[in-house]
Structure 1
């Protein structure tokens, strides 16, 4: 099953990057105008707890502290960043992470190495035995990293029930606009 899902990850990520290339270029140019630094690169906890560099479009000012989104101040988000977050376009560059094998389209959202409680909860539940993902059950149910135990339990449940139909269901619901990313402190 894992090899089949990896095949679809590669197929969809490559297709998305090819078809989305003009949009990616436009968003990159607007990002340069918005912050001077359109891409956000950050080390995250990946498959089997190994580090990888996550790539996203920058939605906050470059001088914003590197903390989990739910700990960041909403005043740090730029106007263009609000648009990117609302439309989920800030996630598009992660298709490159999927293509490289750092991530899957569907899986637990990768956390920062500073999120000790979440790392502990996920380790105890075997969540790191799967690649992190762009979307998943927690995102579709508006569960973010501010509730580490609930998030880890939801990730574990998702991984235990992962099959081809659920993989496609999570992708479909995400593309249709359901769910949200991590909340930002108001």
Structure 2
């Protein structure tokens, strides 16, 4: 029974990492780099890495809460390799992730790599290229340098054309097959509270162009007029308004939001070309008016009916987490990525996490 339980746990871990063997990682670097790497590795899913311990370089102490089995001096020392190897073996790590910095330069990393490889441990070097999918990166060597060629994001070409075809075809089929459900939901909204069945709202799309987005109405008819009264109850630290228990939401509206069925009329927007099946969340005009240059890049592609924000926590995400996910999608989308996100959306909608 114990053996079966262990095997079942191993299979479960493999499924959560896409079939890849989970890696126990020892992170080596200066405190700031350690904290960032550990926080991201241990807070996000969908990858096979878990930071189990850290070895800081220099006197600063990391605050990531991970065990510290040893420490490297600010300058290269004879015990660099033995310290890292000892920490890895103590925590059963099978991979050492090095975050380079002023106190961990090329020569020191190279010597550390020799010792780790001689000791039977794999080494991985953290790149400063954050937010770039591996498929866009091609390594090359020139003049003794290791170069990383980064391909530009997809904007035109066959994949962009295929995305448009999939969007329009999928929206048309969805509207046709879901017509009975649309009728039932429309009737429920109409009977639940006074007001129209649909809620039309101006949103901003690709290249910051405004368009009218359609949803089933989930709030009382005068919800927009009452928003200013609730501004002090906003639970988002960014320009987006979020409130877990919004008193404007009707009983039927709460159920629609929980299941994301209120979003279905946006298939009309996808059919019209205002939106895509997959993309960033379409923002409101007042949100866009407060965007900085980084946030405006979210508008480089069409907004989506679903996206990384939908499958990663929805309203439970912080504003900066939402922006980071959207920017990753803007720069790294592909048709294959879209298909995977559509499949994950079904699971996210089913459990209803982060929807309110």
TM-superposed CA distance for 1:118, in Å, is 6.1
Report if aligned partners of 2:310, 2:348 keep a CA contact under 8 Å in 1. Answer: no
Question: Residue 5 of structure 1 aligns with which residue?
Answer: 163
Q: Which runs of 5+ in 1 are unaligned?
A: none
**Equivalent residue number for residue 26 of structure 1:** 184
Higher RCO by CA contacts (8 Å cutoff, separation 6 or greater): 1
Pairing 1:170–2:335 present: no
- Could you tell me the TM-score, scaled by structure 1's length? 0.87
CA-CA distance at 1:116 after TM superposition: 4.3
Match of 2:284 in 1: 112
For structure 2, list consecutive stretches of 5 or more residues without a partner in the other structure: 1-158, 228-239
Looking at secondary structure, tell me which structure has more helix per residue: 1
Partner deviation per Cα, 1:51-101 (whole Å, 9 max, x = no partner): 000100011111113655505852211110111111111011000000000
Aligned Cα root-mean-square deviation (Å) = 2.4
- C-alpha contact 2:259 2:352 (8 A) present in aligned 1: no
How far has the Cα of 1:139 moved from its partner?
1.8
The equivalent residue for 1:132 is 303
Find the partner of 2:173 among 5, 8, 15: 15
Deviations 1:121-179 (A, max 9, x none): 421xx221100001111221115497433322211111222112210011011123358
8 Å CA contact retained: 2:300, 2:330: no
1:85 to 225, 235, 257: 257
State the Cα distance separating 1:117 from its structure 2 match. Answer: 7.0
Counterpart in 2 of 1:39? 198
- For the pair shown, the structure with the greater C-alpha radius of gyration is 2
CA distance in 2, matches of 1:155, 1:54: 19
Tell me what 2:215 maps to.
56
User: What is the number of residues matched between the two proteins?
Assistant: 182
Q: Is 1:150 equivalent to 2:321 in the alignment? A: yes
Contact 2:311 2:348 (C-alpha < 8 Å) held by counterparts = no
274, 283, 286: which one pairs with 1:102? 274
**Which of 306, 312, 319 in structure 2 is aligned with 1:141?**
312
CA distance in 2, matches of 1:8, 1:118: 33
Distance 1:21 1:143, change over 3 A: closer
Q: Are the structure 2 counterparts of residues 159 and 53 from structure 1 closer, same or farther at C-alpha, using a change threshold of 3 Å?
A: same
| Whole-angstrom CA distance in 2 between matches of 1:106 and 1:139 | 10
